[in-house]
Structure 1
């Protein structure tokens, strides 16, 4: 009996010290990249975990299917480690650490435990770090909570997780596509490219209910089961073509931006379901200045637009670049008609019921306009969309219209559509990852080491002296150039101005066109004769952003925002203590000015409310950075020459963590009296619903003609409405009348006498406004829901 006990203990000890092809990794031990046999196997043998070669001398720690080495999870996909001296170690502190060449850590679980721990690969493919295996296991960390591009059956996609595609079929590093629940509780596919981001599935032009989705379940959970059924809390459900069979499956976000379910049949992965049939509708798939053609038999093909050439022969996501330079002279430009080609999104100007020549002139009058689309809507009215960036181009026979590409006259006669099909690598793959680092094993004597360090030290001192002198010369040159008005482009794509240049453009900051808590806005004329709005930030804003790097980081994010209902940034200045932002100039001024002058009829007011809602919905839900405006009021809603609204004064100091839905990062109350949500006054967590509330007040002001911040001059009832009690006055009107006639009682009498009443639109606006100003923030709709309500114009508006 004693002998058998001793043998049993020795067996346990041998298992605990063994790392090669074991079922677990115990605390105090490691897996080495230099030992291919150092692998953790699941008990059923289906899954393996270990180091996986992804390039020349480049390894990642991954979990894969043992049978065919298909990777399903990776720890360090964006930072491969070297093939020498790298290891995965389970420390006695409870932390699981991946080190690169034994020099620095590239990934860890960040876990802590004073008890014994062990790492186990479960039969479902979940890599789990357990604590205290003797008295019952507690999970410290698991890979199912941090998916990369794949979901396995039973693995949930939640509000806290997302799938990120690989860069290509041969490069597992993070790509441009995301599969996640958006802020509207909808399971979505998102393109997050180098310059822009946009949602493309479900179709962005469809309302949620039109796409068969539900926004009401906020738990946000989606899961694929073991027999091929998929269910989601937004009511998106499907079954695979082999539903019912108990075989290995995986759901993957592929590098082409499509979600597919793969089933293992005869040791081969077969596609048994996919979200998108036409892969050309995936945003960014062919990059900028290109068009995508899809054939069910031949697959997808990317082509440069006429006059453009491919940027990177190994990766189409870089798109195409022009072989010409456009002139601002109208007479030097012509247009090339592209049949059945649509460039979706990123419209600069949208005008309805317009002639072709007027649409063409709108593009010619904009030096940066590269193309325009001229189409017919369902009511038979022609629409014009002008483009400064050409993205998401695809060939669609169902597209009712044409795209007109702006080209120099000298080039157009030599350009033919699809003139060249430039070769790329198969599947558009990027080059594989290469880490080339030398490791020497020769022994070097102490004397040689000392001599080498001494020589290196002398060399470093010399280099530092040369660098110091060189920097001094460069600084003097830059200072001289700045004094002479030297301009250059920032790394973010828009212009970096000098302070003296903007001072000259504004004639010494003399023509003030607006001011707010953030600073004063001046009208200016830039060197290229464009009229601009130049905002000089106040000292309190500058003080918070003294570090130029932090200021530029936030400016770069604002510059990436691209929406037809957001004011466009043209450039900035960060020089010494000066911080200025340069925006496009809006000829019709602010909504506040137009309300005061009584120049807006009901249709214009309705369209302004809809456009403003679209801009805010983009800030809250569509761009990657979660941006709260915090000061929605008529002064911050600007109107272009066609009375299209653009939200201004957003961005700086308002960037928030999208996952932090109960942000308390605001140290002071923000906003304008009369438009502020109750959360500010009662020190409640600040969310995007503060903007919804302010938006509702603005809509009520547009309907009633009464400002929530101004004293009235009429009856006592008028005085009460304007003296900070606009909302109370409207609620009392609605309470006294049970029918829709209460809306007519609150309408601006001056507008009614001049333009009449558009009852249905006003009832819709009133209904939306009252929902937005609910005291309970959870009862208020999101801005995307506001857009849906305004677009639908439901008959039962009351």
Structure 2
């Protein structure tokens, strides 16, 4: 089951494994052997048959999650009751937004006045929501970085399932980035890019084991009252199918077309470099203050990455920046950001830089070499976007944003029954 896969990952990460997890490891075998010697050094143990307890599937699943949450409660996130959530949210008075898994309400901790965002999960509790819930609690509760959204706690009652986050006053980045009426200084946009990169770099390089986000985009970058960014909504993203070292993705609900790296749509192994690709697309959008694909524009300018590459090839990036409204005094940093973005979206994952190098290049502390063409052997974006239209809607952020981007549901034939918290391959 998923929980045992999660526990096995926690064991590999050096985290304590709860007693209920009967996972065969060298440590447990040594401990069992030691206990046998201490308890009965001179006589044989008489094996007593265990009487099995028969539970229904729903009872067994609920009990499994309960044991998982009991373990997590001893870690960091706090377990709240449904009555406490009603108190925090003034009986769910203020809606912040809605997403694929439920509705987000504004709340306040009475004891200290800290503002909260309470994500109430939908009542139609299914396997997908269960996986997202446990992954968020297991991972957000164990990651600590100024550029990652903080999970204060959770609620898991028979009638109420919820996740309690820190409140981010300015919502998601896409609401500001693509709103022409919102004025924002270029220096702040550059800072948002750098700080977001640092948050992703922490996931890849600062944790005990690398963590892949899988869905980096403006809708999953939240902004506080000072427009400081925090990466959010990466609990579900760290769940994937696993069979040995080959990580074949269940693409249904994974990633977002246009932001997802090419390898995510193919039965190829996926590493943390898929996040680098997505971050590159985000950089293009920050510079252009527009969506990466806009069919309302002339064909040469519809897809931002292609337009940027063509302008770079012809040494006309400054012309592009002028058309994007970037002022002269900011064009050096903006040009560097575009070139870094071209490195990030290289078709081959091996050609993409690490996130720590991306941050250094954006900050100007590392030289940015001329990038090769990133589009070799890649299908045109138009075909992908054409196939994407007319499908199910997915919210730009399940945590706060209610703005939607429509795309088709991509199906995978590589469906298996085992899951794990995805840890990036070395």
TM category (shorter chain) comes to 0.5 to 0.7
Match of 1:639 among 208, 215, 223: 223
Q: Contact 2:168–2:222 at 8 Å: present in 1 too?
A: yes
Q: Judging changes above 3 Å, is the alpha-carbon distance between structure 1 residues 731 and 537 closer, same or farther for their aligned structure 2 residues?
A: farther
Using the size of structure 2 for normalisation, the TM-score is 0.64
Counterparts of 1:676-691 in structure 2 under 5 Å?
676-691=260-275
1:526 aligned partner:
109
Gaps of 5+ in 2: 1-24, 54-71, 371-426
Deviation at 1:708, TM superposition (A): 2.4
2:391 aligned partner:
none
1:745 aligns to 2:320 (yes or no): yes
1:506 aligns to 2:107 (yes or no): no
Deviation at 1:656, TM superposition (A): 6.5
1:492 aligned partner:
75
1:764 aligns to 2:348 (yes or no): no
Q: Judging changes above 3 Å, is the alpha-carbon distance between structure 1 residues 705 and 490 closer, same or farther for their aligned structure 2 residues?
A: same
Counterparts of 1:86-97 in structure 2 under 5 Å?
none
Q: Contact 2:361–2:367 at 8 Å: present in 1 too?
A: no
Deviation at 1:511, TM superposition (A): 3.0
Q: Contact 2:136–2:234 at 8 Å: present in 1 too?
A: no
Deviation at 1:586, TM superposition (A): 1.5
Match of 2:143 among 534, 557, 561: 561
2:305 aligned partner:
727
Gaps of 5+ in 1: 1-74, 83-98, 104-434, 443-448, 465-488
1:406-464 C-alpha deviation (Å, 9 max, x unpaired): xxxxxxxxxxxxxxxxxxxxxxxxxxxxx84244559xxxxxx9xxx9xxx9xx9xxx9
Cα root mean square deviation, aligned: 3.7
Q: Judging changes above 3 Å, is the alpha-carbon distance between structure 1 residues 748 and 761 closer, same or farther for their aligned structure 2 residues?
A: same
Q: Contact 2:105–2:117 at 8 Å: present in 1 too?
A: yes
Bigger relative contact order, structure 1 or 2 (CA pairs below 8 A, ≥6 apart): 2
2:411 aligned partner:
none
Answer with 1 or 2: which has the greater Rg. 1
Q: Judging changes above 3 Å, is the alpha-carbon distance between structure 1 residues 793 and 81 closer, same or farther for their aligned structure 2 residues?
A: closer
1:778 aligns to 2:362 (yes or no): no
Deviation at 1:693, TM superposition (A): 1.2
Query: d(CA) in 1 for partners of 2:266 and 2:43?
Result: 67
Q: Contact 1:720–1:729 at 8 Å: present in 2 too?
A: yes
Counterparts of 1:666-705 in structure 2 under 5 Å?
666-668=250-252, 670-705=254-289
Q: SS of 1:593's equivalent?
A: helix
Q: Contact 2:308–2:320 at 8 Å: present in 1 too?
A: no
1:696-736 C-alpha deviation (Å, 9 max, x unpaired): 11110110112125554xxx42x7645xx22222222223x
Q: SS of 2:183's equivalent?
A: coil
2:291 aligned partner:
707
Q: Contact 2:247–2:268 at 8 Å: present in 1 too?
A: no
2:39 aligned partner:
437
1:589 aligned partner:
171
1:186-224 C-alpha deviation (Å, 9 max, x unpaired): xxxxxxxxxxxxxxxxxxxxxxxxxxxxxxxxxxxxxxx
Query: d(CA) in 2 for partners of 1:655 and 1:734?
Result: 37
Query: d(CA) in 1 for partners of 2:158 and 2:225?
Result: 36
Larger strand fraction of residues: 1
Query: d(CA) in 1 for partners of 2:334 and 2:367?
Result: 12
Deviation at 1:682, TM superposition (A): 3.5
Q: Contact 1:505–1:524 at 8 Å: present in 2 too?
A: yes
How many residues align structurally? 321
Query: d(CA) in 2 for partners of 1:768 and 1:691?
Result: 14
1:608-655 C-alpha deviation (Å, 9 max, x unpaired): 111111111111222134422222111111122332211011123515
Larger helix fraction of residues: 2
